[in-house]
Chains A and B, each alone.
Chain A
Amino acid sequence: MEAIQLKTVVKNFREGEHVVHAVNDVSLMLEKGEFAALAGPSGSGKTTLLNLTGGLDRPDSGEVLINGISTKNKSDNELTELRLRHIGFVFQAYNLIPVLTAYENVQFVLQIQGVPESEHRGRIMPFFRTLGIEDLKDRFPTQLSGGQQQRVAVARAVIGGPTIILADEPTANLDSETSKNLLDMMRKLNEQDGVTFLFSTHDPMVIDRARRIIRLRDGTIQHEEFKE
């Protein structure tokens, strides 16, 4: 089964009198376990396409399917539930909840999912150890470096057991060493657990590691590259 399927998806934005064709008749299919990147210049539609894939936005026409489930005609709550169970997000600006500690930010997802509190520690700490942030669990985001925050964000994205991770410019605010480490961890998750990754990125480091690169320009797919 395809993890992600987009069928002739269109998304326009109105800016005053002007209509911007952010995504223009895009069809795309990602198999389970793919490690793919959407690449292109600013304004090419990468983030919009990612948002449509994750159900954060609705296409003006076309259809998006996540693990075979169509998002068409789904209510806001149904889309939210779909994201909660199937999709993890990693954002450029980390977007951790500032009033929760690193541990609580990750725990938040488990609480929304209704996982019993007795299981939280057992599920969170292994991820923290894998990501090398187990000593930072009681710190607030303002007490963490960019790289540390992004690792917490990755932990938050994967803790709920999603089958798909959507990462929007995850290395944009990180130095190269930190970016490398982060990408290696994500690659490990992909290879070990079969989690499908779709990045939106400018970063050559990300593009270099992706096994499939989807090049966008002006809201359309220009071409794709596959690596072994």
Chain B
Amino acid sequence: MLWIKLGWRNLLRNRRRTFIEVLSIAGSVLLAVFMNNLAVGSYDQMVNDGVLMGSGHIGVYNSAYLSMRKTELTVNAPPLVGALEREPSVKAVYPRLQVPALIRSSRDSRNAVVVGLDFDRELNSNPLLRKDKLVEGSYPSSDDAKEALMGEILARELGLKVGKKFVIMVQGSDGKIESSLFRISGIIRTNARMIDAGMVIAPRKVIGSVIGKPDSAHEIAVILYNHRHIEKVLPAIRAIARTQPEADAFRWQEAMPELQNAIKMDRVGFQIMVMFMYLIVGIGTINTLLMSVMERTREFGVIRSIGLNKKGIRKIVLSEALVLATVGVTLGMALGIAVTGYTSVKGIDYSFILKDQGMASTLIDPIIYSAWDWYSMSVIAGGMIIIAFAASIYPVHYILKTGPAEAMRKY
């Protein structure tokens, strides 16, 4: 306790300098905590939406489909869907088709992706089908109807409106070109150009019939009750998938590597930023401690003369570093928790800068909510304490290189 008492009181000798350094540490911790939790929150949202729109927590595919993406590489959906739905850990199962197509109107034609899904299953879960995305019209009246939702930009470019007809031309599973007439039931606006200008959503069975495989699916997205159970559940899902020789099960990270990579890149960028921030704070802390120590060179000479050895001198300087870091980290963490608490409920609306809300094959919700990443927060706090300790090394070296007599003589 002596060392902590000394450390605290020595820091209070120059309150302004100590206050500025504490603010610097606290500010860095606040920034790191807030930005980390906001980033993790955005990753969680991206993964949640990506998983619901895309492969699910675990996706069942034809083994070759993920690498080749050919229309004919499907699985037979009904038996797999039934078996998957009976798995206790499985919350929902979404079979889908994804077919590159030419969309033709009387005015023009465009390339697009036709997504075939079961509206009765996905109406209340798929981010693409959220009510706020449907800007005109309605959803297809049934899963057997030749009706479709179209992206707003695509519809405008083709000169189409709700109720108008258009043709979907695809390559069938036998390699022949097939076409079918559909009616637009609704227009969607997601603010993601890849969707608004390039997607049509129609009932899966109808699209399956167009390509010649009415009960097929390119992707069966399996949604779990708990995303942390992916590894635990994967073997069972895989066993079900492999009841069809060509099928297999994949984690979402394997099925949607672009999403995984986008998150990883962002994470690395953030970690580099935090490293530089800590480096700058470390330099500031060295300066604070060094100035504090230099002003007390004579005093340290006296302390050594009365019998405090080098280890004791280190403890004095270290205790100052520890007090500085503890106060700064505590303040920064408290502020970080307060800001995270607020933004985890209210969120931050990025729509003013996020013009295109599509990324890595998923939608980005412009309102980002912070998440509670306690592990990273403790690493941030611990890292700053370590930086403070490291910052005390040079000041200790400085004071110890001067002998006690010289210290008392010169200063």
Contact = CB atoms under 8 A, between A and B. Distances in A.
B305 A112 contact: no
B309 A81 contact: yes
Interface in A188-219: none
A100 interface: yes
B307 A80 contact: yes
A111 B2 CA distance: 8
A12 interface: no
B404 interface: yes
Interface in A124-157: 156-157
Contact of A83 (B13, B299, B307, B310): B307
A160 to B, nearest CB: 7
B307 A109 contact: yes
Interface string A75-118: 01100110111001101000101111000100011011100000
A77 B405 contact: no
B308 interface: yes
Contacts of B306: 83-84, 88-89, 108-109, 112, 156-157
A19 B308 CA distance: 31
Interface of A is mostly: helix
B304 A80 contact: yes
A42 to B, nearest CB: 14
Nearest to A80: B309
B305 A83 contact: yes
B229 interface: no
B123 interface: no
Contacts of B2: 108, 111
A224 interface: no
Interface string B297-326: 011011111111111100000000000000
Contacts of B302: 89, 91, 95, 97
B405 A112 contact: no
Interface string A49-61: 0010010111000
Nearest to B304: A80
Contacts of A100: 6, 9
Given A95-B299, A97-B299, A100-B6, A113 B307 contact: yes
B293 to A, nearest CB: 14
Contacts of B13: 98-99
Contacts of A91: 302, 408
A156 B308 CA distance: 13
Contacts of A98: 13, 299
Nearest to B13: A99
Contacts of B311: 77
B403 interface: yes
B179 interface: no
B10 interface: yes
B307 to A, nearest CB: 3
Contacts of B6: 97, 99-100
A99 B403 contact: no
A77 B307 contact: no
B151 to A, nearest CB: 70
A99 B5 CA distance: 9
A88 B306 CA distance: 7
A98 B296 CA distance: 11
A48 to B, nearest CB: 8
B310 A77 contact: yes
Contacts of B305: 54, 56, 83, 89
Contacts of B310: 76-77, 80
B301 to A, nearest CB: 8
A222 B154 CA distance: 108
A105 B12 CA distance: 18
Nearest to B403: A57
B312 A99 contact: no
Top 8 A-B pairs, shortest CB-CB distance: A84-B307, A99-B9, A57-B405, A56-B405, A95-B302, A80-B309, A51-B405, A56-B404
Interface of A: 51, 54, 56-58, 76-77, 80-81, 83-85, 88-89, 91, 95, 97-100, 104, 108-109, 111-113, 156-157, 160
9 contacts: A56-B301, A56-B405, A57-B404, A57-B405, A80-B310, A81-B307, A84-B307, A91-B408, A160-B307
Given A57-B406, A81-B309, 8 more contacts: A54-B305, A56-B403, A76-B309, A80-B310, A81-B307, A99-B13, A100-B6, A160-B307
